[in-house]
A and B are shown apart, each in its own frame.
Chain A
Amino acid sequence: MPVGEQDLLQSPGMINMCEFLQDDEVVDDEKSVVHVATTISAETSVESVESNQSKKADQRYRHIALDILEGTFIEIPYKEYANFLGSEGNHRILTEFIKLLDPLPLSLLEALSNLSNSIYFIAEAQNIDRTLECLSKEWIQCHPDTHWKSSYKLCHIVLFSLLILNSDLHNDFQIDHKKTKFSMVAFINNTLRALREESEYEELEICAGEHLIIDELSEYYKLLNETPLPLLTESETSIATSEYEPSLNRFSTLGSREYSISNLRGMASSSTTLYPRDNQNSIREVSAKSNRNFHNNKPMQTLYCKEPFDDDLVSDSGSSWFVDGLVSISKKSLPNRFFKRDRDQETTPKVHSKRSFFGWLKPSKSKTFIDHTSRTTSLSYLSKDSEWDRVKVQIREGRMLIFKIKQNVKDIHQSNGTNSTAIDYYKEISSSYFAYSLFEAEAQVVQDNIIIGCEAVNINKNAKKKKGNFTVIFPEDINGPETVLEFQTKDIAESHKFTQCINFWAGRISPVPMTQFELVSNEEYGWSDKVFTDLTCFDLKQTTISEWKPLLGLELLYEDSKDMETKLKDRLEELMDFTKQLGVWIDRHNEIKDKLVEIWSFDENCFEVVMNNWNSKYLYMNTQYKKRLTYLEALQKAMESVPLDI
């Protein structure tokens, strides 16, 4: 079966969103924002000040909400944020703040956990209450089809109830006096009583779903009993530490989340639907945060399980652990806006990019971030008209940092790029810079795949002979389509160093998608056992054939990807096992092809659908196989530098 590259299915969605920060984006009306900020206090109503300026005001509210989420809203003491948000006059800021927590998880407890992970959440009861009310409204909007139907008030009661339960269970005071703690029965009865009264009052019918509610509440009780809701402290504002893997995702990815859940397609156990862990968001969160932190000089979250040997190797330039080099990047790889605003950027003094955070919030904007070079686009390497730009690229600890060097900077000091001074220096000489997480990324040296002979290398007449070229592919994820960045290095050896380093980190931090292949669906793609054994042509014609897709959606694939814990050696073993197993599965898939042709050829339409399915699965498996093999090789190579005794 010829495999055109254009037919390749993208590897399952990941999480390689690149967040893009540009210093010049800041804020025409920053002054006015500051003005608003300085005029408000926890007791002051912002609404009363700004009520007549709708759009601009909205933006400011969002800005303040974002600053609060960031922990950078300096007008109010950090511990007063929750009181400020919950104050009566600050409802609109509160609403914006809660929106920033989207997508809210399906579990109310998790939604609460997300909230408590986003803000120092100790406040006066009425402020808490208003916050929970707002949260419950947002939750209902996110999840209109649950047994709570559209009644945010019922959710509000549950949230309030959970918060009281948390205080009761985990208040130090009562640790030695269990009799004073609520039992599960008491908790459920109390909450149910409140819900019944409220539903009577609201003339709602909850009886039908009461058993579901009881199940849900008892699940919450168990979870909460084991782990208290986390209290975010100031130092943690930029680092998620929750047991619940909270989503601090600032992107409106609700749709995607829904998609991923529905994509379980009948596979979800009741516990999954009841209490889907939000882990899948964690990785995205990591990358979402990384750029922000990077920009704000906050410590970026560690993406991998750090081991003793890492300490020495992470600064070993040119190794699999760390590469730092001045290279060229194809202009078309980079965001369009980047270049349109190039001139401005370079003349604009460095200012803190508050506005750019807003940019993140606008879904439409995120699409313009990247020139969506697809694999089918011809490589810049092959075109003599390609334009390139100087960038400093650093691969370190699971990330790719790219600094676009200002045009007027001629000399760049060579320094040990791992320390923060070097990073600061790079930022200084850059008109803009950005950080990619290498989750599921894949790098390859172009010359390894495209051999064009000695003469053809000189297609680009300005280019020196034997320049190296490599591409980095970030697979499609919910934040955008697949992205390909193209780089050119001074020689092929350097390209190899980069790709080795990128693949090593990508392999190390990307979980092995074994679950994807172990799951079985009850949907008919054309090759179930039944098809091969009992069904007649008539039966086959009646069968509904579903379109084959990876069973787990973009994110659920990584449900068990708490991957700060997988050691390098273990990852290596996982990859070995996985590639071996996948090889077997691919062979099996190959074996059924002839039978399928035989069985389905009686009907042209069915035949086409089934064969398309077969192809899709085949290509998907192949893509995965190839990628994991690349990772495996990179890890094996890297292991050579790890001292044997470790």
Chain B
Amino acid sequence: MGNIFSSMFDKLWGSNKELRILILGLDGAGKTTILYRLQIGEVVTTKPTIGFNVETLSYKNLKLNVWDLGGQTSIRPYWRCYYADTAAVIFVVDSTDKDRMSTASKELHLMLQEEELQDAALLVFANKQDQPGALSASEVSKELNLVELKDRSWSIVASSAIKGEGITEGLDWLVDVIKEEQL
């Protein structure tokens, strides 16, 4: 009985619900900085695991397990079959890197085709807004062809990971949409 109550409670309030979020994007987009900037909520201290940067944080009654899985790799990205159980993807773009915008777009769309990610929400950070010549969020949105994404909750937020701008806004949106869709 207690279990039923507690799971109902969780469902209603999302208490302690644990979700896996992936941070993806090309080299140098600022993924890792974003990852550490995300720690606006209560950071759950965990024993570090070798390999990828993984952080766990509590935010608005959610426990987020954020993996920095990087972007373009030398092998074709087959490891993406590990996308199962992913609630959301945070895609980070270097807004100043106009030359590679199309590569980023290709990566993003390729990734989103993965079956395992069909239900995952997408948050794009148009990062490095602090630098001169950075494309605005809407320009990045165009470059990435985000409008083509159907049946998916997505949002793009202009950010400066260095300055910590835009991060909270992005995360707030993401948490809300996750709660709405998945809980």
- A residues sitting closer than 8 Å to B (CB atoms) are 88, 116, 121-126, 128-130, 133, 153, 156-157, 160-161, 163-164, 166-168, 170-174, 177, 180, 182, 186, 190, 193-195, 197-198, 201, 228-231
B79 and A164 contacting across the interface, CB-CB below 8 Å: yes
B84 and A230 contacting across the interface, CB-CB below 8 Å: no
B53 and A190 contacting across the interface, CB-CB below 8 Å: no
**B67's contact among A130, A166, A167, A229, by CB below 8 Å, is which?**
A167
Cα distance, A164 to B52, chains bound together (Å): 8
Residues of A within 8 A of B128 (CB): none
**B69's contact among A125, A194, A195, A231, by CB below 8 Å, is which?**
A125
Which stretch in B1-9, B40-48, B172-180 binds the other chain?
Answer: B40-48
B79 to A, closest residue via Cβ: A160
A172 and B46 contacting across the interface, CB-CB below 8 Å: yes
Residues of A within 8 A of B63 (CB): 173
B82 and A126 contacting across the interface, CB-CB below 8 Å: no
Q: What would 11 A/B residue contacts be, using CB atoms closer than 8 Å?
A: A123-B53, A129-B74, A157-B75, A160-B73, A166-B50, A172-B49, A174-B65, A180-B85, A194-B78, A201-B76, A231-B49
Residues of B within 8 A of A201 (CB): 76
B46 and A129 contacting across the interface, CB-CB below 8 Å: no
Known A122-B48, A124-B70, A180-B18: A193·B27 in contact at CB below 8 Å: no
- Judged by a CB distance under 8 angstroms, whether B39 is at the interface is no
**A88's contact among B18, B27, B52, B79, by CB below 8 Å, is which?**
B27
| Cβ of A71 to closest chain B Cβ, rounded Å | 16
Known A173-B65, A180-B85, A190-B82: A126·B70 in contact at CB below 8 Å: yes
**A194's contact among B47, B50, B79, by CB below 8 Å, is which?**
B79
A166 and B51 contacting across the interface, CB-CB below 8 Å: yes
B75 and A160 contacting across the interface, CB-CB below 8 Å: yes
Residues of A within 8 A of B31 (CB): 124-125
B74 and A130 contacting across the interface, CB-CB below 8 Å: yes
- Judged by a CB distance under 8 angstroms, whether B71 is at the interface is yes
- Judged by a CB distance under 8 angstroms, whether B81 is at the interface is yes
Residues of B within 8 A of A123 (CB): 51, 53
Task: List 5 A-B pairs, minimum CB-CB distance, nearest first.
Answer: A125-B70, A194-B78, A172-B46, A190-B81, A129-B73
**B51's contact among A122, A130, A173, A180, by CB below 8 Å, is which?**
A122
- B77-120, CB under 8 A of A: which get 1 and which 0? 01101101100000000000000000000000000000000000
Known A160-B79, A180-B18: A125·B73 in contact at CB below 8 Å: yes
Q: DSSP class of A's interface residues: helix, strand, loop or mixed?
A: helix
Residues of A within 8 A of B67 (CB): 167
| Cβ of B26 to closest chain A Cβ, rounded Å | 8
- Judged by a CB distance under 8 angstroms, whether B56 is at the interface is yes
Cα distance, A230 to B50, chains bound together (Å): 7
Q: DSSP class of B's interface residues: helix, strand, loop or mixed?
A: mixed
Residues of A within 8 A of B78 (CB): 157, 193-195, 197-198
B75 and A124 contacting across the interface, CB-CB below 8 Å: no
| Cβ of B73 to closest chain A Cβ, rounded Å | 4
Name, among B31, B48, B49, B67, the residue most crowded by chain A CB atoms within 10 Å (CB to CB): B49
Cα distance, A168 to B79, chains bound together (Å): 13
A197 and B76 contacting across the interface, CB-CB below 8 Å: yes
Cα distance, A157 to B73, chains bound together (Å): 11
**B82's contact among A116, A133, A164, A170, by CB below 8 Å, is which?**
A164
Cα distance, A400 to B78, chains bound together (Å): 52
- Judged by a CB distance under 8 angstroms, whether B72 is at the interface is yes
Residues of B within 8 A of A116 (CB): 50-51
| Cβ of A582 to closest chain B Cβ, rounded Å | 44
B68 to A, closest residue via Cβ: A125
**B54's contact among A128, A130, A167, A230, by CB below 8 Å, is which?**
A167
A124 and B74 contacting across the interface, CB-CB below 8 Å: no
- B107-145, CB under 8 A of A: which get 1 and which 0? 000000000000000000000000000000000000000
A166 and B74 contacting across the interface, CB-CB below 8 Å: no
Cα distance, A124 to B35, chains bound together (Å): 11
B49 and A167 contacting across the interface, CB-CB below 8 Å: yes
| Cβ of A525 to closest chain B Cβ, rounded Å | 47
- B11-41, CB under 8 A of A: which get 1 and which 0? 0000000101000000100011000000000
A117 to B, closest residue via Cβ: B50
Beyond A174-B18, A190-B81, 11 extra complex contacts between A and B, CB < 8 Å: A123-B51, A123-B53, A125-B71, A125-B73, A133-B75, A164-B52, A167-B49, A167-B50, A173-B18, A190-B82, A198-B78
A130 to B, closest residue via Cβ: B74
Residues of A within 8 A of B85 (CB): 180
Residues of A within 8 A of B82 (CB): 161, 164, 168, 182, 190
B52 and A122 contacting across the interface, CB-CB below 8 Å: yes
A129 and B20 contacting across the interface, CB-CB below 8 Å: no
| Cβ of B180 to closest chain A Cβ, rounded Å | 21
Cα distance, A283 to B29, chains bound together (Å): 44
| Cβ of A157 to closest chain B Cβ, rounded Å | 6
